[in-house]
Amino acid sequence: MRLLLISNSTNAGEPYLKYPINQIKEFLGPVTDVLFVPYAAVTFSYDEYLKKVQDRFAEIGVSVRSTHTYAHPSEEVARASAIVVGGGNTFALVKRMQEEGLIEAIRERIAAGIPYIGWSAGSNVSCPTLCTTNDMPIVQPASFQTIGAISFQINPHYLDKNPEGHAGETREQRILEYIEANPGRYVVGLREGCMLRVEGNTLSLVGPRPMRIFKKGEEPYEVQPGDDLSFLM
């Protein structure tokens, strides 16, 4: 199993996908063609999304095809050398992936060892469920079940505090609600500019910030890049 799970596509003030592109290049290695899943796009077209990703990946010599251009996208998943799932609205992404049979198809390809890259919503769908997304449920998927390549949940774009003047729940409070209802599950708060890399049974945190760990019965705590994360696997 090979996964690169990125918190966010774009750091503030930087071009789209600029900060993770070298990590993506190194992760893909000799792979020069990837299949992109654009279904998290809502306010712009899948064609526009494909072009944004294609333009950045071209810088590292990788061509990008998109599932939305095929009549039977699950068949393309079976032929793909690598899968890339972009961010956007997780509910819209999961609904379409379920309708196209991509949840099971991608799960099988990950198990076969092909590289999987996701950012934001694309990281969420690698988890057992979409329940720790930050997104509004603008559409209703058949279920909350997702690929389940990993056994823990990711909360991408994790923030420690609310903006000044906002009195609503913090991200931590929302995650504490989740683990109260799901006591057997770890949740990781993956801060922006960071990513998780899975190589077989090895999980590592990549980036400039620590990651926050949540589990019912334990006080939330931080882990640093380089720390042993085998307990999540």
Catalytic residue list: 120, 135, 157
Q: DSSP of 139-203, one letter per residue?
A: S--S-SB---SSSSEEEET--SSPPTT--S--HHHHHHHHHHH-TT--EEEE-TT-EEEEETTEE
Q: Nearest 5°: CA angle at 77, between 72 and 78? A: 100
Instruction: Compute CA distances 33 → 11, 102, 139, 212, whole Å.
Output: 25, 19, 31, 34
CA nearest to 195, candidates 1, 41, 7, 69: 7
